[in-house]
Amino acid sequence: MGLKEFHGHTTIRRLDAPHALELEAHGGSLGAARVAFDIRPWGDKTLVIRDEHPL
C-alpha cells in the first residue's frame, strides 16, 4: 500500500487554552469528524485525552 494524499480543511470549534481543543476535520469524500483534546495536569506530567467520532 503506497502513500495516499487527501485534501480537506479543519475548523476550530472550541478552544479553551490550555485545557481543551475541539476540531472539525473535513476530508472531502471521506466526510467529517470531530476531534477533541482534553488536556489535564497529571502529577509533574500532562495527560491528553483524545476523543473522535464521525459527523
Would 39 be classed as within a structural domain? yes
Would 13 be classed as within a structural domain? yes
Beta pairing, strands 45-54 & 9-16: unpaired
Would 45 be classed as within a structural domain? yes
Q: Please give the pLDDT value at position 20.
A: 98
C-alpha span between 37 and 16 (Å, rounded): 10
The residue-averaged pLDDT of 9-33 equals 95
pLDDT tier, 49 (very low <50, low <70, confident <90, very high otherwise): very high
The tally of domains found in the chain comes to: 1
Please tell me which residue, 30 or 12, carries the higher pLDDT value: 12
Q: Please give the pLDDT value at position 39.
A: 98
Q: For residue 19, is pLDDT > 90? A: yes
When the pLDDT of each residue in the chain is averaged and rounded to a whole number, the result is 94
Helix or strand or coil: residue 30? helix
Helix (H) or strand (E) holding 48: strand 45-54
Would 2 be classed as within a structural domain? no
Would 24 be classed as within a structural domain? yes
Q: Please give the pLDDT value at position 3.
A: 85
Domain that holds residue 40: 9-54
Amino acid, single-letter form, for residue 13: R
Would 3 be classed as within a structural domain? no
